[in-house]
Structure 1
Amino acid sequence: MTGTELPFFVYGTLRPGEYNHDRYLAGRTAAEVPARLPGAVLYEGPGWPYAVEAAADDPAGPVVVGALITPAAGLYGELLDVLDRLEDYYGPGRPQNVYDRLPRPAVRADGTTAQAWVYLAAEPLARRLRASGRLIASGDWLDR
């Protein structure tokens, strides 16, 4: 699935109006629509957020709020490289990954679902966050 051109679900500093959106995505997208990521929770990090897959037995139906970003025609590969570098993603299963890029279903505001790339905290970091991280209960980075 690594070579599949999927949109990106972004939930923190890459959301429209946030500083990394302006630096890395502005003028390079074909569509940006509100969306949510079910089955994940959000933790506050030093200056940026971390989405972590929720425990399977979490009855609250956790969700992370964000946007579904579709790259402009011809810019997919460039954005993929830029975002992988920004998110410290070096490839599947690499121990130096801060985030892992994984395909997950994102739900648009109109209720339709799209498979999207999502940068989730890599498992060693996710374990630390689950144990002692600062949860953003609303799932929305803008509410922190």
Structure 2
Amino acid sequence: MKQKIFVYGTLRKGMYNYDLYLKDEDSFRQYGYIKGSLMTIRGKAYPAYITEGQDMILGEIHEVSEKTLKLIDEMEGYFGKGNPNNEYNKEICDIYDENNQIIDQAYVYVFNMDNRRNVSALENDIESHDYVKYIQEIKRNEKTYSIDE
């Protein structure tokens, strides 16, 4: 049986975990938004989604097999409902369109704010509310230009 997940970070199309977990499954269904906040995590190359806040976070709805979902659970540090060691909790959330209308519900990996290590690792708000765009901006800013003058 297929399960719907909403991805907002490294599992999005074009990102490295998409290629590892979703590319071969033809899982993409549509774009959407979740409400909350998207933040950077100190020392990590992936974002934290927290439910506090009203920002519209861009992401994608995918439909995946149980096998793929278990692999993603492992990658996301999800050990089971209510486990205090979870890096992310897996929760059913409303998914919105650009007009703020609910279009679906899906599993979302929510940063576990009950884990003290997680809370202390949060850094900055991703102001674009779009992790792919955020990474593209970083890459543009990291380009070095030689001065020929």
TM-score by length of 1: 0.79
1:31 to partner: Cα distance: 3.3
| Unaligned 5+ runs, structure 1 | 56-60
Structure 1 segments, 4+ long, off by >2 Å, are: 29-32, 108-112, 124-129
Aligned residues: 129
Q: Which runs of 5 or more residues in structure 2 are unaligned?
A: 135-149
Tell me which residue corresponds to 2:68.
Answer: 79
* CA distance in structure 1 between the partners assigned to 2:88 and 2:10 by the alignment: 14
Check if 1:63 corresponds to 2:59.
no
In structure 1, how many angstroms separate the alpha carbons of the residues matched to 2:104 and 2:125? Answer: 26
Structure 1 position 92 matched with structure 2 position 84: no
User: Considering only aligned residues, what root-mean-square deviation do their CA atoms show, in Å?
Assistant: 2.1
C-alpha deviations, 1:81-114, integer Å up to 9, x for none?
A: 0110010000011111000000001124585511
TM-score (norm 2): 0.77
Q: In 2, Cα distance between the equivalents of 1:113 and 1:6?
A: 16
Distance in structure 1 (CA, Å) of the matches to 2:120 and 2:90? 19
Identity of aligned residues (%): 25
Are the equivalent residues in 1 in contact too, given 2:73–2:79 (CA < 8 A)? yes
Structure with bigger gyration radius? 2
Check conservation: 2:88, 2:111, Cα contact below 8 A: yes
Residue in 1 that maps onto 2:120: 128
